[in-house]
Structure formats: structure tokens, C-alpha cells
Structure 1
Amino acid sequence: MSLTLAIVGRPNVGKSTLFNRLVGKRLALVDDQPGVTRDLREGEARLGDLRFTVIDTAGLEEATDDSLQGRMRRLTERAVEMADVALFVIDARVGVSPADEVFADILRRKGGTVLLAANKAEGRAAEAGLLEAYALGLGEPLALSAEHGEGMAELAGMLRPLIEAAEEAAEVDETETDVEIDWDIEDGEELPDFAPTVKKPLKITVVGRPNAGKSTLINKIIGEERLLTGPEAGITRDSIALPFDWDGVPMRIFDTAGMRKRAKVVEKLEKLSVSDGLRAVKFAEVVVVLLDAEIPFEQQDLRIADLAEREGRAVVVAVNKWDIEPNKQEKLRDLREQFERLLPQLRGAPLVTVSAKTGRGLDRLQQAIMKAHSVWNRRVSTSQLNRWLTGMVEAHPPPAPQGKRIKLRYMTQAKTRPPGFVVMCSHPDKMPASYTRYLVNGLREDFDMPGTPVRLFLRSQSDANPFKGKTRSTPSRLRKHLGKGRADER
């Protein structure tokens, strides 16, 4: 993308609606109440034949202190500095407010390229506000309706010369944009299917309860204050995706809203935030479940970890705020014991202690993520599986419920991500769950697949004779010939 456009303005003027319109997807949360957006969200915008990067920002507030509104304002001002063009949006139905005048003056002093747009300009009710916008001194206002898509052609006309100028000025060397990854591949050997690339980065989602330190951890990982943080719980609302390179591996990390118990989630906006976080889990490859060292493994933490396992994602459990833990060895021993006891379905998954504030333990977290991703993509040959299955059956034969012996005949791996195996057997519906767990645990241990979800499917393979009960038919020409022979004998 050659040009970056930041959408700025007061709360509730329609910035997120315009962002969704430009990217062609409902990525940003939209609601009638002001102040929904708090973090910066990037997206790849399409406007006709134009391609550029668009940034959705938090609503500009007049606060300049260390309050939540003040931190949101500083984050938005940083987005303006990062972007090539700022699109200042006002509400045409409300008109120019004193806050609009203050922010327009700030944008003028920054000296960058600023475009003025009056949103919600459909109908006659917006005519007065559109005329008032001339007084801001930012040039001719563009009448828009992000909700209905009006004014998009005019916006494209304003952006086209800016994008063309940026493309001419940019000297892009494609050889430098490709990230080289050392996977210890010998000459002539193909790159593994699961190897992340720039076009297909490794997708990581960080989930947990509110105030566990998810945004702080991601800021420390990417090395910049990109996400809004603070002592208040529930700051993050959108699921924000951030591309970055971690020790030569292209990744895309998702920050999610804190997930509380369902009974406590009553507001519409929080329901939308949690739903957005659950969607991020479904699209992830590795899910980092972040716990608070002071109150780890609460019921909600267990539910979140179980959700990631049921969705078939690779799971890494990280315990945050380890820098303030006084008895580290004793606490770590208790954590491992609780992990094995409370989450048996994730037995063997990595458990890493980190400090999002100081950055300690991030190297171990990166190694745990890469290992979990590798195991998640593990493939075992059919010959190995069938030799293993024979040994497992000899060591512990399956039961014979109601006197019907269950025969395990053949096994193969049907899929990866997560590993899925199919066993052809007789009477699969009568196989006890305990024996299925016995096979799954054996797969984890013997083929080094700790912690990752393992799917085992039983399929019926009947040994009945397919010709049993069928009469053997004689071809018509043969019957005619045999009948003629019998007639000659007579």
C-alpha cells in the first residue's frame, strides 16, 4: 500500500462506518453511542481501482491529561503523524461544534495533508452544516454518507492524485520486502506447508479476562505503544489485528476484549466486543490464554481455554504479572499442578510465565508459540500409525460391549490443523469414551503432540460378505446355450 489515510474526528460522527465502507467488511464495531472505538484499526481499502491503507481512530476529545480520553486522544494524534493524509470528518446534521474548530486548528498546525468531509449529508437537514464546514479553513468540504455510500466517487477523485504522487515518489524494492526465514531446510527440500510467509503470516490471538494485561503484552511484543492501555478494566473493545515480524517469522497478532462471565455481559456493546473476540479465536492458529498471576485459573479462564480447544486451535497458556510474584518457585509448582488437574484436555500444552510490563519471558513465549504451531501441523505416516495401532491393541484390547467384539482394522491421518485421525473399526457406536481417550493420549505421548487438540473419528467397516443372500445369476446367452444342449441330449 502506497498511501495511508487516517480517519479522524469527534466521537459518533461515523468514522467506523466509513472505515467499514472503505474496506468492504464490518471490521470495526459500530453503535449509536459515542466513543465505541478506542484503538487504532488498520485495513486495506478499495475505492474503485484505488488501493490504500485506512486507519480508524478513536473520537477526538478535548482532554489532555492521563485519563482514558486523554490517552485515546494521544493515540489518535499519533495516527495522524503516521498517516500520509488525514480525513477530518464532521457531522453535517449537527454542524460545526467548538470541538471541531479546536481539532481543525490542531490539524492545520501539523502541516500535513488534510481533507475535510461532512458525513451524514443525505437529505436537506445537512445543508446548513455543510455550509458551516467552510469556516474550518480546511478547504471545500466533501458531502458524504458512509451509511448509504454517497460521495464515494468524489472521495476517490480527491484521493487519486495523492495516491499517484505517493506511488511515483515511493521506490519499492520487492526483494527487500520478502522476509527470509531460516527453517534449516536442506538443498532440494521443500519448505514445510505450515511455514509462515509474508502473505500468510502466523495468526495469534491473545484472549483472557478483563485487565489481564493483553494489550500491554502485545505492545511489548511489537515494541511500540500501539494499543491503548491503562489501569481501567475493559479498555479494549475491538479485536485489533497487528502485523509484525518476530525474530524473522511473519506474524499477525490479534488483541481481543476481555471476556467476562456470560451472566455479567448485559450491555449490547460488550456483547459485540465478546462476539468479535470469539470470531478472532476461530480465525487464529495459535491462541494465547493470558492469566493473571494473582488470580489464575478462575472459572472464566477455564472456559476460555476450553473454548480454544473446542475450536481446534493450538493453545499456549501464559501467566502475566510474574514480576510482582514473591514466591515464584512455589507459585509455579502450584500453577502446573492446577493446569494438569483443571485442564486435562490440554495436558502437555506450554505454560509460560511472563511480565508484560518488563518484557521478561517473551523469548520463552515466542518459542512456545512456534512449538505449539509446529505440533498443530504435525503429520504422521499411515504405516507408522498402523504399527502403533497394532501395539496399542495388543497392550490393551478394546472391550466387547454386549458380547460384540470391536475390531480395529486400519488407521490413517485425515487432516492437520489440528491433527485428525480416522480409525476403521467394527461397531464404532459401541466404542466407550474411555478407550477413545486411551488412543488419543497414546497419540499425544508416542508422536510428541502435547497440548494440541487431537481429533479421533471412528468409522464403520463391516466384515459381512457383500454377496451373502444373493442368488448367482446365469447370463441369458449361457442359459440359452445350456438349454439347447439339454435338448440335443434328449
Structure 2
Amino acid sequence: MSRQPVVVVVGRPNVGKSTLFNRLTRSRRALVHNLPGVTRDRIFGEAERLGGGMVTLVDTGGLLMEDEDTFVPLIRGQAESAIRDGDVVIFLLDGEAGPIPEDREISDYLRGLGVPVVPVVNKGDRKGVDLQALEFHRLGIGEPVVISAEHGTGMDLLWDALDLHLPPAGEVDEPEEENDDQIPVAVIGRPNVGKSSLINCLLGDERLLVTEISGTTRDAVDTVLEKDGVRYQFVDTAGIRRKGKTDRGPEVLSVVMARRYLERADLCLVVVDADEGITNQDAHVAGYAWEAGRAVILVINKWDLVKDRGLGRERLEDQAGQHLKFMRHSPRIYLSALNGRGVHKLFPAMQNLHQAYRRRTSTTNLNRILTEAWEARPPAMSGKRAPRLYYCSQVRHSPPHFVLFTNLPKSPHFSYMRYLENVLREALGLDGVPFRVIIRGRDR
């Protein structure tokens, strides 16, 4: 199987790398880049090419070539590692500030690595940036592409420039099947919501621990549990239970650790505190799971501390609607890891969700479902032309990606796309699964 192409985004701090990353990956919210230390690590996502097919996008920490900050060598090392693994580099520049000495140093640094580079001038919507962009020619790394990451202008030109250095776009590769008989699960949440208690409750009550196996991160240990013939691999439970690594601040740590666990999981249990309620930080951590393309179950722990269950449930549902709108279709389980009540509901929920996450739907069945939905509620006319659905197919699973071919790919309103997503979610049982519906144009 061919490797998915890798595009790496580098540049000075605060030139708009996170904004461009979110634009290309179509993230539903901004990444948490205002927490100290968070964007010092590489962030991975997936972006769809204009001609079809996917690339892995890597957002690196801001490059500073000369600085006394002790983090800078680490940031540069992370970025260089990503660059050497990539197929092409986006060197993002600040069009409003114009070229500065640090840009020259970074361009020299990139030339020394011998990798394909596409210089991209951001903030092209600001006054005078087009003229300023001409100055970036002097960096000697090629013709700059002018964009606005904030407003999305110039994205087609950017992809045209990237495609010159990428293999031809084709069908999306299927992910490798690993441990198909095992369900990898990450347990994440902000500090003190009961992650450790939940893991210990699952392991202690069942006493069906199979083995301790080495994880992929240093000093990490995964724990495998078998229940009713199904094996669950809880990712880096030793890391979850570690208590002494909060020197950098518990809020930052919860986000950084969550990202690490999610790289190796299919499912994610997002744990929140029923007594304290659902907070913005819960939304930040949960958002990483959703944007990473992981199936999510919302675990509302410490349910035993809520005295009025009726009012408590109403309050938590309101908070979930406010902070976790992107998870409105995810399963929610109220439990107490302290006394074990409700914990048994997790196992069938995880099994059902994992089956949906890996679900493959035949083209015949998919076309029947969407054709009926299209005919029952046709999209609005585009001028004098009626949008037509030619056919659709599933191009990927884990999570599912569906492609619809129409004569007017830019015509369907986002509300109509939401209608089609709801039809698929109900017909295929995809609650809690971050599937995607992609529209592409095709002549009859």
C-alpha cells in the first residue's frame, strides 16, 4: 500500500500556521494554540486535495533560529524531523510584515535540508500585501503563493503549487489493519475528573487483565482487558495514572497527553466531572478527539455526587449542548467510577461504536439511501440549473468517508449537507462517529 503524502507547515511564530492548518483540515474549531507549550509539539491532521485523495498535514512549532529560549532547539528538532519525513514544505510568511532577517535564515536552513519548498505569503487580504509579496522573491526559494488563511482565498493556487511536488491524487488509501480483534481505546479528560478511577474500576472489577504490553512512547504501558470475548486495549494507562508530571501545569498536560494517546486509538472516552459540570477545557480536550477522527463516548463520571438526578441531568445536557455541540450525536453514559454503578454500560457502547467506526457500506446500499434522500428533498436550484446526484461511494473507513459526485459540486448549501449527514447517520448507525461527506464534480 502506498504511503499517504505528507505536507509540512513551517515558519516563524505567529505568521498564521495554525489558522492555515485549520483551514486545510477543515477543523470545526481553532486548535488550542494559546496554551503555553501546546504548539511546541507537532500537530497532525488530514487535508483533502482538490483533485481527490488525502494528505497528512503537519503543523510545526514556530521556528526561531537564534534565541535563548531553551525550547527553541527542541522546536527546531521537531520541525526538522517533520521536514525530513515530508514530501513538500509550506514555508509560511507574514505578508503584512514583509521579509525580515529571520525569514532569510529559515529559507537558508530549508535549502540546506534539500527538500521541496513552496513559499506562501499569508494575510493577502491586507492592504499592500500583493506588492510586498514581490519582496519575498529575494529569498531565492521560488515563486511565492499569496493567500489569506483566515478568509480562505488563494487555496486553489496553493494546492496547484503543492501538487507539483506530490504524487498524482488517487483513491484514498485504506489505513493499515492492526490488531483487528482488539479495540484500542484512549481515556482522556482534564485533571481530576476520574480517569484513573475509571481505569482502575474497569480492571479491578473484571480481573481479566491479559497482559502488560510495551507502548510506542517512552515509559508507556498499554493495558489489555478481555470482556465477553472482546479485547479492549486501553492506551498508555500507566501514563494516565502517573501523578507526578504536572509541573508544566495540569491544563497544558491534559491536552498534550490527550494528543499523544489519540494517535494510537480508534475510540475515545472523554471523561467529565458530573459534580463540577462541563467546562471550556473539557471542550478543548474533547475537540482533539473529534478533530483527530476518533469515535467518541462522553463519560459523565462522579454521578454519585449529584443529589438531584433530574435537575443534574438537565444541567449537564444544557452544558453539553453549549460546550460540546460537535459531540451532540455521541453516546453519553452516566456512571460512578467510585462505586462502579453504570460502568457496565461502557462495554456494549464501545463495541457498538467501534463496529460503526469501521463500518463499510456497499455502493449499492449507499446509492439507494442517498438517492431516496435527494429525491425526497432536492437541493435548491443554482440559477437555472438543478443539482443532480450521479452516484456515491465509500472511499475509506475508520472513520467512514463518503464521496458524492454531482454536476454542481459547489451548489449544496451547508444546511443541505447537514441534512445528508443526518440521513447517513441514522441509516448507517453512525452516532458518535466523525464521518465525512465529500462533494465532487463530474460530467455525466
TM-score, reference length from structure 1: 0.47
Alignment match, 1:243: 224
Q: Please say if residues 257 and 273 of structure 1, whose CA atoms lie closer than 8 Å, have aligned partners that are also in contact.
A: no
Q: Distance in 1 between matches of 2:324 and 2:427?
A: 20
| Amino-acid identity (%) | 34
Q: 1:336 aligned to 310, 317, 329, which one? A: 317
Q: Distance in 2 between matches of 1:196 and 1:250?
A: 13
Compared CA separation, residues 271 and 320, structure 1 to 2 (3 A): closer
Alignment match, 1:459: 440
Q: Distance in 2 between matches of 1:194 and 1:344?
A: 31
Compared CA separation, residues 194 and 315, structure 1 to 2 (3 A): farther
Q: Distance in 2 between matches of 1:324 and 1:285?
A: 30
Query: Which letter does structure 2 place at the counterpart of 1:460?
Result: G
Q: Confirm or deny that 1:217 pairs with 2:204.
A: no
Q: Deviations over 1:380-426 (max 9, x none)?
A: 22112212222211222112334443221101111211111110112
Q: Distance in 2 between matches of 1:369 and 1:412?
A: 26
Alignment match, 1:439: 420
Q: Distance in 2 between matches of 1:274 and 1:344?
A: 19
Query: Which letter does structure 1 place at the counterpart of 2:333?
Result: V
Q: Which structure is richer in relative contact order (CA contacts within 8 A, separation 6 or more)?
A: 2
SS of match in other structure, 2:439: strand
Compared CA separation, residues 287 and 239, structure 1 to 2 (3 A): farther
Q: 1:325 aligned to 293, 306, 310, which one? A: 306
Compared CA separation, residues 369 and 428, structure 1 to 2 (3 A): same
Q: Confirm or deny that 1:426 pairs with 2:381.
A: no
Alignment match, 2:275: 294
Alignment match, 2:20: none
Q: 2:390 aligned to 391, 405, 409, which one? A: 409
SS of match in other structure, 2:410: helix
Q: Distance in 2 between matches of 1:437 and 1:296?
A: 29
Q: 1:201 aligned to 182, 186, 199, which one? A: 182
Aligned residues: 254
Q: Distance in 1 between matches of 2:372 and 2:299?
A: 36
Q: Please say if residues 190 and 251 of structure 2, whose CA atoms lie closer than 8 Å, have aligned partners that are also in contact.
A: no
Alignment match, 2:326: 345
1:372 Cα deviation (Å)?
1.3
Compared CA separation, residues 273 and 443, structure 1 to 2 (3 A): closer
1:317 Cα deviation (Å)?
0.5
1:315 Cα deviation (Å)?
0.5
Compared CA separation, residues 270 and 419, structure 1 to 2 (3 A): same
Q: Please say if residues 274 and 300 of structure 2, whose CA atoms lie closer than 8 Å, have aligned partners that are also in contact.
A: yes
Q: Distance in 2 between matches of 1:243 and 1:194?
A: 20
Q: Please say if residues 219 and 225 of structure 1, whose CA atoms lie closer than 8 Å, have aligned partners that are also in contact.
A: no
Alignment match, 1:310: 291
Structure 2: unaligned runs, 5 residues or longer = 1-174, 208-217
Larger Rg: 1
Q: Distance in 1 between matches of 2:278 and 2:263?
A: 22
Q: Deviations over 1:220-267 (max 9, x none)?
A: 1111899xxxxxxxxxx9765222223332121134559xxxxxx993
Q: Confirm or deny that 1:277 pairs with 2:258.
A: yes
Q: Distance in 2 between matches of 1:303 and 1:312?
A: 15
Equivalent residues in 2 for 1:51-66, closer than 5 Å: none
Equivalent residues in 2 for 1:146-165, closer than 5 Å: none
1:208 Cα deviation (Å)?
0.5
Q: Deviations over 1:444-467 (max 9, x none)?
A: 11222212112111111123xxxx
Alignment match, 1:64: none
Query: Which letter does structure 2 place at the counterpart of 1:291?
Result: V
Q: Please say if residues 210 and 257 of structure 1, whose CA atoms lie closer than 8 Å, have aligned partners that are also in contact.
A: no
Q: Distance in 1 between matches of 2:257 and 2:328?
A: 28
1:440 Cα deviation (Å)?
0.5
1:271 Cα deviation (Å)?
5.5
Compared CA separation, residues 212 and 272, structure 1 to 2 (3 A): closer
SS of match in other structure, 2:405: strand
Supply the RMSD in Å over aligned alpha carbons: 3.2
Query: Which letter does structure 2 place at the counterpart of 1:247?
Result: D
Equivalent residues in 2 for 1:227-242, closer than 5 Å: 240-242=221-223
1:292 Cα deviation (Å)?
0.3
1:269 Cα deviation (Å)?
9.8
